[in-house]
Structure 1
Amino acid sequence: MHVKRLGEISGLVLRLNTSYGRWSGSHKLDLGEMSGIPLKNNPSFILCFLSGTVYLDHAGATLFPQSQLTSFTKDLMENVYGNPHSQNSSSKLTHDTVEQVRYRILAHFHTSPEDYTVIFTAGSTAALKLVAEAFPWVPPGPESSGSHFCYLTDSHTSVVGMREVVAAMNITSIPVRPEDMWLAEEQDATAASDPDGQPLHLFCYPAQSNFSGTRYPLSWIEEVKSGRMCPVGGPGKWFVLLDAAAYVGTSPLDLSVHRADFLPLSFYKIFGFPTGLGALLVNSRSAPLLRKTYFGGGTAAAYLAEEDFYIPKESVAERFEDGTISFLDVIALKHGFDVLERLTGGMENIRQHTFTLAQYTYTALSTLRYPNGAPVVQIYSDSEFSSPEVQGPVISFNVLDDNGNIIGYSQVDKMASLHNIHVRTGCFCNTGACQRHLGISDEMVKKHLQAGHVCGDDVDLIDGQPTGSVRISFGYMSTLEDAQAFLRFIIATRLRPSHGQPLPLVMPGEAGALPAESEAQKAVPATRARRSPSLQEDASPDSRVWDNSPTTVDAVSLRPPLLETTRTQQTPSEKAAGIPDGGLGSHIVTNLFLYPIKSCAAFEVTRWPLGNQGLLYDRSWMVVNHNGVCLSQKQEPRLCLIQPFIDLQRRIMVIKAQGMEPIAVPLEENSKPAQICQSKVCADRVNTYDCGEKISSWLSKFFGRPYHLIRQSSDFQRNARKKRGKGMRMERKNYFQ
């Protein structure tokens, strides 16, 4: 295979297969020229909120170009689209436009209304549920084992969830491993099933794994339908559902060649907008078999309200589209197709473009080594990225330390966010593939659940073993610069020493200095000890905060240590726990930290006044976005770089951040109250105060998006019911904790 040198990134020589790219004279891969996609200097790709952002989660949801929204909104401003179930002129325009979009969808997949029907749904998940409910399942009986529902274990949760629907119909569900299908593909079909026999079975598999990007053979469709390759043995006729949601976002699909019976998809995977709209493409030969019980608005040819009489409409689409479809979103698809074709030249160009980016990044990641020769990442893949026929533009991996230990994906995600790189972490709603690639047994999954880990949380390591991985994926507007920015991030954070500085300690005379004794009659004393800096103490994005070995620093005590105190009585909690009197011994408070602004850096003191909600000013402020949504480091990891200092003598809070001039916020409350809605932080509506435009502008400049600083009212009281619901009591609580 002929290869050429691509260039060097931090001393790494990268090579790529030239059959998927062309090279400029400077040995730099010109992806736009390679695929015909005009990526550079094209205003249609400019999104105002993407400045400096490296978006690598296109498998989760791709992005939309500005011209797509401009074209769509212009259409809405110039035309009146009414409910398609009405008969007026605006409704007729809607109906005709929707039908044109149906034709456009079928043409995109190289088929026609004679061969396939487009049923609009809320997404691919709704399309899968529709098939599970409407497929003509045959329960087992005296003379038949009944229908089988088979699915590849490397399937999305929404596919596996179909088994709960069929279980209620007494239908057997059988998971099939990819290895078994590959083995069946290699064997002679001497025991082929009868393609015209009974009962009817359904086999579901993804065209592309949403976990690893593996692309399974589209030839399986015809092999299974013809009976030459059976997921399980036994008589009957097989139908095939091809889950194309992850595949069609970056690849063409020809349904005139690969004639799946059912094809669910979500359009935001292709266009980015609109969301909440998908479709089920149904083969015309399979459509008459579908059964339906419920009927909604627009689906009935006739029915009686006082008699069990109902006749469905003849059109398959009208029969299964209950109620009014999301017709404006359907119309938006027209503009999505127009812009996609104009900007890219077609899906084949997108396939070549995205695969080349993935192949380039895979090659670079595979090459990265620590000085001791250990790999920097472990990649989970069934291919070596040799061809877009077998691999999609998806890379799933975990980062390793130089001893080969896996670094939790949550730590990688947080560090990537500090570099404004957007990735996906976890199992990506594909437990089967996650188990297979990470070596997680069924028993381990159950133990992880008992340990508190659930799908979608940030528990990334249990007993040193990963619960998921990191995934990056490319879309048609991804660039070589995106791939290189990601590689520079991995190199900078894993192969360079840390230059981070710990949080400055509070010294007398500075902001945060201790108040005079008269102001601190309720002060809480504390001593200091050796400690390990946390993510909040390190303001450098390149610091190795995800290292497994802690680093300790010497902390200078500003007050002499206090003598240990002896307790003679147990606390109620100790008595309830059955701890013997004196069993816990004496205690010393060694460190005292305040967090004036929720989720921002700590403010360390040796003693501090108490307020009516605990430590004075602890978690009294919070950062919210333009919608009033409370922010934490999960949504905005750079909050840890904000360092507040409270000066009780000057009655101000000084806020610092790297690259910003310090700003002071008065401790006195604003006289203009504002309300924020309940959120995960506060269970009720809370009286708060906006701290003003000055600090809002400061935060917005630092984060690059509109943020506000709010403060909880010190006299806010909440009505809370007692545990048994009898009577009411007043409770004072800090909701920012």
Structure 2
Amino acid sequence: MPTMEYNDDVEEMQDEEYPMLQGATYLDHGGATIYAKSLVDTFAKDLIANLYGNPHSANAPAKLSGQLVDDTREKTLRFFGADPEHYDLIFVANATAAIKLVMESFKDLSTTSKLVDGHEGGFRYFYHIDCHNSVIGVRETTDDNHYCFRNDAEVAQWLAGKSSENNEGVKLGLFAYPGQSNMTGRRLPLSWPGMLRKSDHISHQDTYSLLDAAALATSYPLNEVFRDPETAPDFTSLSFYKIFGYPDLGALIVRKESGRILQWGRRYFGGGTVDAVTVLGKKPFFKNRETLHESLEDGTLPFHNIIALNAAIDTHERLYGPDPMTTISRHTSFLGKMLYVKMSSLVHPNGVSVCKIYTNPAESTYGDSTTQGATVAFNVVSADGSFVPYTSVVETLADERKIYVRSGQLCNPGGIASNLGYDTWHLKRLVANGHRCGAAHITGTEIVKGKPTGVVRVSLGAMTTIANIDSLINFLQEDRKPSLYTEKPSVSFYSSAQEHSSDSSSDSTPGADSPASSLTAHSSTSNLPSSTSHHHQQRLSTALSYQAFNDSAVAMGNPIEERKVEDEKKGFQKMFGKKSGRRGIIGV
């Protein structure tokens, strides 16, 4: 198992390098990590000291910009352990833009009726269930010629040529998957691209691989990905703000041997990508530039951001050592295991776990950086086994304490569905009755018949400290006050719908062991922050009383799918348990 080691240097550099973190516990590094003060200072001094022009011009300021862009491109490849002899790097806005660039190239090639190097028109798309929405979206350009692998075993079967998806002959194809789940932090096998390339099965010929490394690159050395060009992905997407905090920039790293497929069919060209263009005559002409990145980087590059990237790499190596990503990987693995162990040990006095953590020990192990990143996806559970609303209560209360996490569906519909136990028709029904990604706390659909529709995510980064872990654990421990286990608790998310309506005027004042700032007290809409609107209070009240999906809602959603009400009731009973006078306790 790879080494784990806490980097206590981060505690010494906090005040000087990360002053914006004073008094805050930032635990959303999977969204964006934090930039160092010295990075901003270095970049600002560079801009003041030098005159940079548009790299497409030929004057001295333009040449200075162009040279620094070229130097930074090579420097970035080497930072990731990607030999510039075998790889090229295309600057884009973010990881999504990198994925979209690959998609557009494949789509353009697939729409031609001509045979291109043996490729028949159209392309097949394969993707893993744990993909981010930005990867899933590629399927909509394939004319329904796509397949989602439900698990790793299905991928292995396909790679072995034993899947029904292997029945088609030679055809242009693309296989995409995340290096790390942006939901659970599980790290998927990096061996798949090499296995695909080495396969002699006819259905794998001319099928390329796309690795979404946005989450992985945050705290993992990508030299493990690019060490051997023969086993590396054909295309790798990533975002630099997830690694350095700044700049807001992304990249597509391409195996040079695979790059031709991006150039062949691409129809659009922008400024700087062509050697010649004509505009008159019946057959207008254009000639793309030969160099891969020059032919795909449309228009003027964000050269100021690229200059900032140059400073970001230098800063990272100065703060975290000559091999910064290995140092960060060991540090975050240490903290990730600590967090997981501490969260797993939190139990109510009656033995019920405080946190439902979504992980599969058979697939990943906290502390093993090859199988698990420093990310924990979970839901808070009350003493009676019911789930606590993940945004309106957990994230809101954490936010008040300056503990910053993320909650919701995380743009990972497959991960949410598989971990929370939803089938496709369940999710369609949720949408039919108002559920929206990122807005469940507004639409009243965080908890549906006792079942959560999203999670809370904690993700660690290079500058996370043990004190940050302790802050989160102390916050979660507030949910274990003795007053929660009385027969009639205060008006809160622990009350059933009937209790909420009949006992709201009874003696429900929190006791000394249940302060107004605790998870319990804030579950009542009367304890919402003063800035909360009346409309939001109404929506939240709906969520807390679990009335968003009653039997009538089933009938209301009937036009979406032509099903009989009775069939829907049976489905919901199977999904949530038969209706009773109290909420059901579920196990996900």
1:481 aligns with 2:455: no
Q: Cα gap change, 1:406/1:96 in structure 2, threshold over 3 Å: closer, same or farther?
A: same
The alignment partner of 2:419 has SS state of helix
One of 373, 389, 393 as aligned partner of 2:374: 393
Which amino acid in 1 is paired with 2:206? Answer: K
Cα 1:263–1:533 shift into 2, 3 Å = farther
Aligned residue number for residue 261 of structure 1: 234
Alignment-derived partner of residue 429 in structure 1 = 411
Tell me the CA shift for residue 237 of structure 1: 2.8
Q: Does residue 128 of structure 1 match 2:60?
A: no
CA offsets 1:571-602 (integer angstroms, 9 cap, x no match): xxxxxxxxxxxxxxxxxxxxxxxx9x972699
Greater fraction helix: 2
Q: Which residue of structure 1 aligns with residue 206 of structure 2?
A: 237
Structure 2: how far apart are the matches of 1:418 and 1:402?
Answer: 23
Are the aligned partners of 1:494 and 1:544 in contact in 2 as well (CA < 8 Å)? no
Per-residue Cα deviation, 1:335-379 (whole angstroms, up to 9, x for no partner) = 110111111121111001001101001001111111111111110
1:173-192 to structure 2, matched below 5 A, reads 173-181=146-154, 184=157
Identify the residue that residue 274 of structure 2 maps to in structure 1.
300
Q: In 1, Cα distance between the equivalents of 2:479 and 2:288?
A: 61
Matched, 1:60 2:31: yes
Give the Cα separation in 1 of the matches to 2:508 and 2:44.
50
| Structure 1 residues 286 and 534: CA distance shift in structure 2, 3 A | farther
Tell me, yes or no, if the aligned pair for 2:333 and 2:367 is still in contact at 8 Å.
no
Alignment correspondent of 2:4: 20
Can you list the C-alpha shifts for 1:658-684, whole angstroms capped at 9, x where unaligned? xxxxxxxxxxxxxxxxxxxxxxxxxxx
Q: Judge conservation of contact 2:397–2:519 (CA < 8 Å) in 1.
A: no
Report how far residue 492 of structure 1 moved: 2.0
- Give, as a single letter, the amino acid of the residue that structure 2 aligns with 1:121: V
CA contact (8 A) 2:240 2:250 kept: yes
Q: Does 1:78 align with 2:78?
A: no
1:223 aligned residue = 195
What is the aligned counterpart of 1:348 among 321, 326, 343? Answer: 326
Equivalence for 1:329: 305
- Pair 1:439 & 2:421 matched: yes
Tell me: CA distance 1:141–1:378, structure 2 relative to 1, closer, same or farther (3 Å): farther
| Contact persistence 2:210–2:234 (CA under 8 A) | yes
**Quick one: which of 519, 523, 531 aligns to 1:599?**
531
RMSD value, Cα: 3.4
Of 456, 459, 465, which residue of structure 1 is paired with 2:438?
456
Separation (CA, whole Å) in 2 of partners of 1:430 and 1:108: 29
Instruction: Verify: 1:281 aligned to 2:253, yes or no.
Output: yes
Structure 1: gaps of 5 or more residues: 1-16, 22-30, 503-528, 554-594, 603-618, 620-631, 634-737
Q: Specify the alignment match of 1:711 in structure 2.
A: none
Q: Relative to 1, partners in 2 of residues 1:190 and 1:543: Cα closer, same or farther, differing over 3 Å? A: closer
Alignment of 1:406-417 (within 5 A): 406-410=387-391, 411-417=393-399
Q: Cα offset for 1:18?
A: 11
CA deviation vs aligned residue, 1:177-212 (integer Å, no higher than 9, x gap): 224346539x96689999xx8322110011000010
How many Å separate the matches in 1 of 2:525 and 2:63? 70
CA distance in 1, matches of 2:326, 2:28: 20
Q: 1:24: which partner in 2?
A: none
User: 1:238, CA displacement in angstroms?
Assistant: 2.2
CA contact (8 A) 1:419 1:541 kept: no
Cα separation, partners in 2 of 1:374 and 1:44, compared to 1, 3 Å: closer
Secondary structure, counterpart of 1:274 in structure 2:
coil
Change (3 A) 1:86 1:414: same
Q: Where do residues 560-579 of structure 1 align in structure 2 (5 Å cutoff)?
A: none
Query: Deviation of residue 450 (structure 1)?
Result: 1.2
Looking at structure 2, the residues matched to 335 and 418 of structure 1 have their Cα atoms a distance apart, in angstroms, of 34
Q: How many residues align?
A: 493
Give the drift of 1:47: 3.4
Which of the residues 328, 336, 360 maps onto 1:358?
Answer: 336
Are 2:320 and 2:327, in contact at CA under 8 Å, matched by a contact in 1? yes
Question: Residues 32 and 39 of structure 1 are in contact (CA less than 8 Å); yes or no, is this contact kept in structure 2?
Answer: yes
SS in structure 1 of the partner of residue 275 of structure 2? strand
Distance 1:369 1:292 in 2: 56
Secondary structure of the residue that 2:53 maps to in structure 1? coil
Q: Which has the higher contact order (CA 8 A, sep 6+)?
A: 2
SS in 2 for 1:407: coil
For residue 350 of structure 1, give the secondary structure of its aligned residue in structure 2. Answer: helix
Aligned counterparts of 1:451 and 1:282: Cα–Cα separation in 2: 43
Contact 2:516 2:522 in 1 (8 A): no
> What's the secondary structure of 2:236's corresponding residue?
strand
What is the match of residue 554 of structure 2?
none
**Any idea what SS the aligned residue of 2:243 has?**
helix
Is contact 1:532–1:552 with CA below 8 Å preserved after alignment? no
How far apart are the structure 1 equivalents of 2:181 and 2:219? 13
Report % sequence identity: 34
Q: Deviations over 1:438-465 (max 9, x none)?
A: 0011111111111111111124112221
Letter in 2 for 1:273: Y
Task: Encode CA deviations 1:66-101: one digit per residue, 9 max, x unaligned.
Answer: 111011101011001111111110000000000011
Runs (5+) with no aligned partner, structure 2: 492-503, 538-588
Deviations 1:498-538 (A, max 9, x none): 8x999xxxxxxxxxxxxxxxxxxxxxxxxxx9379899xx9
Letter in 2 for 1:152: H
| Equivalent in 283, 287, 301 of residue 311 of structure 1 | 287
Q: Which residue of 2 aligns with 1:579?
A: none
1:598–1:285 CA distance, 2 compared to 1 (3 A): same
Q: Given the two structures, how large is their TM-score scaled by the length of structure 1?
A: 0.62
3-state secondary structure, aligned to 1:20: coil
Tell me the CA shift for residue 113 of structure 1: 2.4
Question: Residue 245 of structure 2 aligns with which residue?
Answer: 272
Secondary structure, aligned partner of 1:332? helix
Tell which structure's C-alpha radius of gyration is larger: 1
Give yes or no for contact 2:122–2:142 (8 Å, CA) kept in 1: no
Contact 2:72 2:306 (C-alpha < 8 Å) held by counterparts: yes
Task: Please state whether the residue corresponding to 2:328 is helix, strand or coil.
Answer: helix
Q: What is the alpha-carbon distance in structure 1 between the residues aligned to residue 199 and residue 165 of structure 2?
A: 5
Contact 1:207 1:216 (C-alpha < 8 Å) held by counterparts: yes
Task: Name the stretch that deviates more: 445-454 or 388-397.
Answer: 445-454
Q: Distance in 2 between matches of 1:240 and 1:271?
A: 26
Cα separation, 1, equivalents of 2:526 and 2:53 = 67
Given that 2:212 and 2:237 are in contact with CA atoms closer than 8 Å, whether structure 1 keeps it comes out as yes
2:41 is paired with a residue whose SS is helix
- Give per-residue Cα distances to partners, 1:111-138, cap 9 Å, x unaligned: 2222111111111111111101102448
- In structure 2, how many angstroms separate the alpha carbons of the residues matched to 1:81 and 1:531? 70
SS in 2 for 1:120: strand
In structure 2, relative to structure 1, the CA distance for the partners of 1:165 and 1:188 (3 Å cut) is closer
Partners of 1:469 and 1:333 lie apart in 2 by: 33
Confirm whether residue 338 of structure 1 aligns to residue 314 of structure 2. Answer: yes
Give the Cα–Cα distance (whole angstroms) in 2 for the partners of residues 90 and 139 of structure 1.
Answer: 42
Distance 1:237-1:274 versus aligned 2 partners, 3 A rule: same
Pick closer, same or farther for the CA change 1:340–1:144 going to 2, 3 Å.
closer
- Measure the CA separation in 2 of the matches of 1:235 and 1:487: 48
Closer/same/farther in 2, CA of residues 145 and 100 from structure 1, 3 Å limit: closer
SS of the residue corresponding to residue 42 of structure 1 reads: helix
The correspondence of residues 645-656 of structure 1 with structure 2, limited to 5 A, is none
Give the corresponding residue for 1:32: 7
**TM-score between the two structures when normalised by the length of structure 2:** 0.77
Residues 105-160 of structure 1: CA deviation (Å, up to 9, x unaligned) = 11012122221111111111111111011024488999979631100011000000
Residue 131 of structure 1 aligns to a residue whose secondary structure is helix
Cα shift readout 1:303-334 (whole Å, capped 9, x = no counterpart)? 11224111111121111111111110011001
